[in-house]
Amino acid sequence: MTVLDMAVLDDAAFQLLKADVDAWVRGPGEDFANQIEATGIVPPELFLDLKAHGFLGLAAPERLGGKDIPFSRYLELMEIFSRSHASIRMLVHVINGTWRAMDEFATEAQRDQIVRPSVAGDVLVAFTLTEATAGTGADIRTTVRREGDTYYLSGEKQLITFGVKCDYWLLLARLEGSTGQDGTVALLVPNAGLPGAEVIDDSETMGVRGTDHAILHFDNTPVPVANRLGEEGQGLTIMLGGFLLPSRVSVAMSCVGLAERAQELAVEYANRRETFGKKIADRQAIQFYLAENYADIAAARALVIHAAKAFEEGAADAGVLSSASKMIAVDMLTRVTDKALQVHGGSGYWKRNPIERVYRDARAQRFEEGTNEIQKLIVGRAVVTGAVTN
């Protein structure tokens, strides 16, 4: 029995699993990272390798074919994956999370056709919420019109990760004429050349190279009512509570992992680089940068683990802590990567140095799963209404 075959991991087995993930990240993962940066494409072999190692079904329950690793412990693995290339982290993060949105509201037929194959790595589901002309919540404008057993979908989505190559879009829309949360529906829309569906590849990004992103246009695209998750009016609950709440904590931990990689690169460079016959690691200014980074990372990591355990326990403040952890971790990552690049001096600005890629990739978390401005609104409202206290 391998470590990943165990239904319940004791601590010793989990440490072996962490070591296995770390070895993969530093070995094959780094080779894939270099290939992605050189070509701008995630090779199919990467997906197959992640699947073969069981890395795509870490967090899902056994009944869905997953490894049933508790969320807070899974995040320790996400921390390690996030030290790798951003597209590798994105694959592991999304596939280990979308099942949460689907499972509670899926029919058994939907579980067999989509949810379980997603956990197995046989079906790719893209979370499809963001729009160009609206926010990412109750103000969405994409609509459906129901005629018998068919919805007719019209509207636009953008910045949809894996939206080009996915098998299904897990998509939020609203019934024509509805407002707010009422009338929102979550649909599993097959990416199969449906009438009226247009997929535009929008993958040329600053960082996170290789991950495909899509702009989607729908014009009276037919979607069977049987492809709806849950009931009409539950769409926003499915998308926000089912996916975004834990996903924000996962993104926060990805900030921690990437910051740790930036710090590691800065320390290595500082111990190698000499000026005026002295390693820059011995210079007080550099030590101050590294000390501030160490404290910043440790503080953010503690809050992320606290938020993860609150989600596990179903705590009343889990949602607020989710936003708070992402807010703090994102700002931490900005500071740490900036100082790590500064330690490298001008050399860090060149693509031949890994810190350049880390610096570019770090910018994406500032808006992934909701901007920091949105997180501050969520936390601020909870504080002023007395919903949370310190």
Residue type, 128: T
Question: Do the Cβ atoms of 326 and 248 come closer than 8 Å?
Answer: yes
Q: What are phi and psi of 59, to 5 degrees?
A: -95, -20
Q: Residue 334 is encoded by which pair of tokens?
A: 């900005």
Query: What is residue 376's three-state secondary structure?
Result: helix
β-bridge partners, 223: 151
Catalytic-role residue among 156, 232, 356, 369: 369
CA distances from residue 145 to 112, 185, 187, 247 in whole angstroms, order as listed = 27, 11, 13, 30
- Please state, in angstroms and rounded to a whole number, the distance separating the CA atoms of residues 286 and 263: 12
Which helix (H) or strand (E) is 187 found in, with range?
Answer: strand 184-190
Query: What is residue 60's three-state secondary structure?
Result: coil
Q: Residue 224 is encoded by which pair of tokens?
A: 């069977």
β-bridge partners, 186: 172, 229
369 included as an active-site residue: yes
- The single-letter DSSP state of residue 265 is H
> Catalytic residues, which ones?
369
